[in-house]
Amino acid sequence: MTRRQSPDDSPERLALLGVVVNTVLAGAKLAAGVLGSSFALVADAVESLCDIAGSVVVWGALRYGSRAPDEDHPFGHGKVEALAGLAVSLLVVGAGIGIGVQAVREILTPHDVPKPFTLVVLAIVIVIKESLFRATKRAARRAGSSAGHADAWHHRSDAITSLAAFVGILIAVVGGEGCAVADDWAALLASCVIVINGVLLVREPASELMDKSTPEIERECTRIVLSVEGFEAVERCHARKSGRMHRVTMHAAVDPAMSVREAHDLTGQAKAAVRAALPRVESLLIHIEPAIRDGSADSRAAHATS
């Protein structure tokens, strides 16, 4: 069973923490990049500014998406998390493209060798951003949040940018004037990695918005319902993700002679069993069908595998 999310490691708290951390890091990297003559560090600061926007979007989406269903949104507000995840993914792609374009311009423009102190700034940034990535990813996985997942990888892309900048600046500092351009090539390499990460990130929120099925939830719901005495088959089961929760619809077969009251009580037992085993299943709608009994095969097994 999924571990209960504590207030200290919730995606909302970590998104807000990301805003604070990225604000401090962006200012530090921008100042160090300008004073230390490093475009790679300036580009890294731009990435952090995008992280700030992304974390704000994710934090707002997580807060709004956790609202209970209301009259205008009877199915809840969870889809806003997927929208936020998609927005952050596209923001990552845009930042990568922008950094790449500027890196090419810098490569074609001679400039001074970066100052050695910029390496210290980048080393600190890499440690902080990788730690934030790991914490945010764990929280997103436990909560099942696509927006939190995108926010985590936004931190990782920033760590990658910083690492590339560190290598480029190190080469430029050690190699002197003849290697000054390594700083800009590092920024260009980082931009490519960022764009690739952004494109990969688009898949999860896009799938959620398109109501892609979640087979593992479907299999578990089918197994649990069939374990309730009275159900003879599950003809079909469909599950889709909405925010951090899942909604399931199912066609289940029972004794054709069963009364409406008995069938109603039976579905209540099934829903209670599913909720107890799978807390992230927000709703389970069971459509009752009469069991097929032609004597030619075990209808229970046949329907369960359909």
Q: Are residues 35 and 137 in the same domain?
A: yes
240 and 160: one domain? no
Strands 231-242 and 281-290: unpaired
Contact between 87 and 59 under an 8 Å Cβ cutoff? The reply is no
- Does the global pTM surpass 0.75? no
pLDDT in tens, 69-120: 778 877 777 788 788 888 888 887 888 888 888 888 878 877 677 888 888 9
Q: What is the DSSP letter of 287?
A: E
Residue 81 is encoded by which pair of tokens? 């998390």
- CATH number of domain containing 243: 3.30.70.1350
Looking only at the bridges linking them, the beta strands covering 245-254 and 231-242 are: antiparallel
254 and 134, same domain (yes or no): no
- Residue 260 has which token pair? 């409406």
Task: For residues 106 and 180, state if they share a domain.
Answer: yes
Tens-place pLDDT, residues 234-283: 989 999 888 778 889 999 999 999 999 999 999 999 999 999 999 889 88
Domain of 181: which CATH number?
1.20.1510.10
- Range(s) of the domain holding residue 241: 215-304
Q: Is 211 exposed, middle or buried (0-12, 13-18, 19+ CB in 10 A)?
A: middle
- Rounded to whole angstroms, how far apart are CA atoms 49 and 30? 10
Alpha carbon 19 to its chain's center = 17
Same domain, 68 and 39: yes
Q: Is residue 294 part of a domain?
A: yes
| Sign of the dihedral through C-alpha 144, 147, 149, 152 | negative
Instruction: Give the pLDDT of residue 263.
Output: 92
> Which amino acid makes up residue 63?
R
For residue 3, pLDDT over 50 is answered with: no
Amino acid at 251: H
Count of domains observed in the chain: 2
Least confident of 61-65, 171-175, 283-287: 61-65
Last residue of one domain, picked from the residues 189, 209, 229: 209
Residues in the chain: 306
CA distance between the termini of the chain = 26
Cα-based distances in Å from 180 to 59, 171, 239, 241: 39, 8, 55, 49
- Last-in-domain residue among 180, 209, 238: 209
Same domain, 194 and 136: yes
Listed range (172-176, 195-199, 264-268, 292-296) with the worst mean pLDDT: 292-296
Same-domain status, 23 and 151: yes
Q: For residue 2, is it within any domain?
A: no
